[in-house]
């Protein structure tokens, strides 16, 4: 009698073993999440920030070495752990946060029902603050709503920010006035003009789809009396955010390149694809991971509110000069191509590579990780 298993039977046995191991992994992950939730409760009670960068770095270092010793890919283990840690931050987030300033009477979020405003309403509420939202329909009662406010955050579209700020001339003397728009010079100027108390310009460097502020950056532009709004920045730290202080003018110059140029270029590229009649489905099928990722970022922009990007691009007249310089350099490179001047084109490429320096290699490594994840997410 032949007791040897067939190929299908042997494969089935091994697959059953894998299924059993996977089940154990799920059970262990559930157990881990219970523990991280307890950690969150403990941190909340002690008033500790949710994110401990030293702990995370130490954990990853140890686990990477354990992976190497076990004959596993350290990159694989780090990738898994980072995903697990992100999940643990979410579970800890549910425990609530320490209220840095218990003496704060009231937090008012103007535009608190908007996508970004809702995030701050939720975080301040879960930190134990008394929070109230002020929307357009509430302005007839704004005097009562703003009375005794300790913090007022303006979270309205860019085109409305200045108009809203100009209505805030009767805030309590010690009330902090802040805005969260993506331009800073004009709003900060208006806030300083209308309010004699503490003022700070904020730019949250994240979108409305974030699940928490761990590892997120909030830019802070000093206005007036920073010692009086220090508790606000500390509260952001408790939520896990990183504060990046910068002058308003420097911020707006950087954003003209980080945001305006990228958005403008993306819109122009999408417009070009449309007018050329490009078949997007075909482009996706014929794209390598990096080009597919670029198409994803283009499509992502056009899935959002056009007024948002219009406001960003049109917000500062200096952006026009920046975009003209970009167009000039684009045409300059095109002339090299038209004249078949490969030497000039290559020289420009080399100059830009030198300009990026070590960042070129850093970005290369980071992009490899992103591309690997993008490739895993392919659905067609």
CATH (domain of 59): 1.20.59.10
Question: Which pLDDT value is given to residue 277?
Answer: 96
Give the tens place of pLDDT for each residue, 250-300. 999 999 988 899 999 999 999 999 999 999 999 988 988 888 888 989 999
Neighbours of 287 (CB within 10 A): 14
Domain termination site, one of 216, 246, 276: 246
Instruction: Compute the C-alpha angle 260/262/268, nearest 5°.
Output: 100
> Which of 327 and 290 is assigned the larger pLDDT?
327
Confidence of residue 370 (pLDDT cuts 50, 70, 90): confident
Tell me how far apart the alpha carbons of residues 122 and 126 are, in angstroms, rounded to a whole number. 6
**Does residue 70 form part of some domain?**
yes
Whether residue 359 sits in one domain with residue 265: yes
pLDDT at 93 over 70: no
Whether residue 308 sits in one domain with residue 236: no
Question: Which pLDDT value is given to residue 46?
Answer: 76
Question: Which pLDDT value is given to residue 377?
Answer: 62
Lowest-confidence segment of 88-97, 146-155, 188-197, 232-241 by average pLDDT: 88-97
Confidence of residue 47 (pLDDT cuts 50, 70, 90): confident
Structure tokens at 330: 């684009």
pLDDT at 162 over 90: yes
Instruction: Tally the domains of the chain.
Output: 3
Tell me how far apart the alpha carbons of residues 328 and 184 are, in angstroms, rounded to a whole number. 27
Structure tokens at 92: 């800890």
Question: Which pLDDT value is given to residue 191?
Answer: 97
pLDDT at 70 over 90: yes
Confidence of residue 212 (pLDDT cuts 50, 70, 90): confident
CA dihedral 269, 270, 276, 281 (to 10 degrees): 120
Question: Which pLDDT value is given to residue 156?
Answer: 95
Question: Which pLDDT value is given to residue 92?
Answer: 66
The whole domain housing 368 covers 251-376
pLDDT at 28 over 70: yes
C-beta of residue 283 within 8 angstroms of C-beta of residue 369: no
Question: Which pLDDT value is given to residue 207?
Answer: 84
CA dihedral 290, 294, 300, 302 (to 10 degrees): -160
Whether residue 118 sits in one domain with residue 77: no
Q: At what angle do helices 318-338 and 342-356 cross, to 10 degrees?
A: 140
Domain termination site, one of 64, 93, 122: 93
Mean pLDDT value of segment 144-161: 94
**Does residue 2 form part of some domain?**
no
Mean pLDDT value of segment 148-154: 96
Mean pLDDT value of segment 97-105: 92
Exposure of 188 by Cβ count < 10 A (0-12 exposed, 13-18 middle, 19+ buried)? buried
Whether residue 213 sits in one domain with residue 139: yes
Whether residue 111 sits in one domain with residue 239: yes
Question: Which pLDDT value is given to residue 2?
Answer: 58
Q: How many CA atoms lie within 13 A of 113 on its CB side?
A: 6
Nearest to 175 by CA among 203, 192, 195: 195
**Does residue 13 form part of some domain?**
yes
Question: Which pLDDT value is given to residue 95?
Answer: 64
CA dihedral 154, 156, 160, 164 (to 10 degrees): -30
DSSP string, 308-328: HHHHHHHS-THHHHHHHHHHH
Mean pLDDT value of segment 228-246: 95
Give the tens place of pLDDT for each residue, 108-148. 999 999 999 999 999 999 999 999 999 999 999 999 999 99
**Does residue 98 form part of some domain?**
no
pLDDT at 373 over 80: no
> Which of 44 and 134 is assigned the larger pLDDT?
134
pLDDT at 379 over 90: no
Whether residue 227 sits in one domain with residue 352: no
C-alpha radius of gyration, the chain, whole number: 26
Question: Which pLDDT value is given to residue 50?
Answer: 76
Mean pLDDT value of segment 239-251: 95
C-beta of residue 109 within 8 angstroms of C-beta of residue 117: yes
Domain termination site, one of 246, 271, 289: 246
Confidence of residue 375 (pLDDT cuts 50, 70, 90): low
Question: Which pLDDT value is given to residue 315?
Answer: 83
Whether residue 186 sits in one domain with residue 166: yes
């Amino acid at each position: 009698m032949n007791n040897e298993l067939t190929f299908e039977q042997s494969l089935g046995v091994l697959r059953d073993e894998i299924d059993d191991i996977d089940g154990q992994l799920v059970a262990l992950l559930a157990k881990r999440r219970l523990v991280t939730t307890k950690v969150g409760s403990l941190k909340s009670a002690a008033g500790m920030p949710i994110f401990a960068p030293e702990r995370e770095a130490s954990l990853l270092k140890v686990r990477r070495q354990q992976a190497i010793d076990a004959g596993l890919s350290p990159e694989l283990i780090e990738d898994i752990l980072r995903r697990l840690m992100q999940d643990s931050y979410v579970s800890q987030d549910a425990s609530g946060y320490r209220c840095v300033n218990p003496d704060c009477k009231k937090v008012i979020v103007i535009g608190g029902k908007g996508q970004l405003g809702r995030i701050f309403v939720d975080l301040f509420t879960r930190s134990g603050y008394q929070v109230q939202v002020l929307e357009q329909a509430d302005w007839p009662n704004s005097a009562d709503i703003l009375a005794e406010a300790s913090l007022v955050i303006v979270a309205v579209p860019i085109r409305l920010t200045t108009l809203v700020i100009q209505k805030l001339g009767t805030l309590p003397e010690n009330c902090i006035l802040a805005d969260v728009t993506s331009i800073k010079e004009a709003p900060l100027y208006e806030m300083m003009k209308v309010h004699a108390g503490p003022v700070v310009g904020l730019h949250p460097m994240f979108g409305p789809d974030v699940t928490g502020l761990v590892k997120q950056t909030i830019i802070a532009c000093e206005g007036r009396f920073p010692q009086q709004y220090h508790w606000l920045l500390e509260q952001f730290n408790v939520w896990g955010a990183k504060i990046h202080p910068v002058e308003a003018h420097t911020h707006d110059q950087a954003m003209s390149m980080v945001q305006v140029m990228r958005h403008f270029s993306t819109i122009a590229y999408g417009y070009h694809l449309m007018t050329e009649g490009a078949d997007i489905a075909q482009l996706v099928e014929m794209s390598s991971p990096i080009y597919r990722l670029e198409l994803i970022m283009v499509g992502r922009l056009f899935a959002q509110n056009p007024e948002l990007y219009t406001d960003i691009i049109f917000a500062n007249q200096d952006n026009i000069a920046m975009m003209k310089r970009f167009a000039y350099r684009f045409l300059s490179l095109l002339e090299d191509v038209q004249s078949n001047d490969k030497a000039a084109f290559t020289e420009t490429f080399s100059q830009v590579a030198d300009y990026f320096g070590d960042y070129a290699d850093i970005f290369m490594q980071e992009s490899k990780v992103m591309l690997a994840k993008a490739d895993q997410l392919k659905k067609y």
